[in-house]
Amino acid sequence: MQTLLLSGAELAAAADILRGGGVLAIPTETVYGLAADGFQPQAVEKIFEAKGRPQDNPLILHIPDPDWLGRCCAEIPDVAYTLAARFWPGPLTLILKRRADVPDVVTGGLGTVGVRCPDHPLARALILRADTPLAAPSANRSGRPSPTTAAHVLEDLGGRIDGVLDGGACSVGVESTILDLTVSPPCLLRPGGVSLEALRDCIGAITVDDAVYRPMEEGEHPRAPGMQYRHYAPVAPVTVVRGPPTRAAGYILAHAPPGAGVIAFDEWAGAFAGYTVRTLGPRADGAAQARGLFAALRAFDHTTVTEIWAMCPDERGVGLAVANRLRKAAGFHIIDAEESV
Is 30 one of the binding residues for ligand TXA (CB under 6 A)?
yes
Could you tell me which residues are beta bridge partners of residue 6? Answer: 165
Q: Output 54 or 282, the one with its CB closest to Mg ion.
A: 54
- Determine the residue type at 30: T
Nearer to Mg ion, 213 or 229 (CB): 229
Give the nearest distance from C-beta 173 to ligand TXA in angstroms. Answer: 10
Least spacing, CB of residue 73 vs ligand TXA, in Å: 10
138 binds Mg ion (CB under 5 A): yes
The CB-of-96 to ligand TXA minimum distance in angstroms stands at 8
**Rule CB under 6 A: is residue 59 a binding residue for ligand TXA?**
yes
Q: Which is nearer to ligand TXA, 28 or 239 (CB)?
A: 28
Q: Which residue is nearest to ligand TXA (CB)?
A: 226
Q: Is 113 in the site for ligand TXA (CB under 6 A)?
A: yes
Backbone angles phi, psi at 230, to 5 degrees: -60, 140
Binding of residue 33 to ligand TXA (CB under 6 A): yes
φ and ψ of 37, to 5 deg: -60, 115
Q: Does the protein bind ligand TXA through residue 138 (CB under 6 A)? A: yes
Which residue, judged by CB position, is nearest to Mg ion in the bound state? Answer: 138
Site residues for ligand TXA, 92-111, by CB under 6 A, read 93, 95, 107, 110
Of Mg ion, ligand TXA, none, which one does residue 176 interact with (CB within 5 to 8 Å by kind)? ligand TXA
Number of DSSP helices (H) and strands (E) in the chain, helices first: 13, 16
CA max distance for the chain: 58
Residue 18 burial (C-beta neighbours within 10 Å; 0-12, 13-18, 19+)? buried
Chain-centre distance for alpha carbon 17:
24
For the CA atoms of 79, 216, 245, 317, the dihedral, rounded to the nearest 10 degrees, stands at 0
Nearer to ligand TXA, 243 or 319 (CB): 319
CB 22 within 8 A of CB 36: yes
Rounded Cα distance between 119 and 176, Å, is 11
Q: Which residues does 45 contact at the CB level (< 8 Å), separation at least 6?
A: 105
User: Directed axis angle between helix 196-203 and helix 78-87, to 10°?
Assistant: 130
142 binds ligand TXA (CB under 6 A): no
* Binding region for ligand TXA (CB under 6 A): 28, 30-31, 33, 57-60, 91, 93, 95, 107, 110, 112-114, 118, 136-138, 175-176, 178, 189, 223-227
* Binding region for Mg ion (CB under 5 A): 138
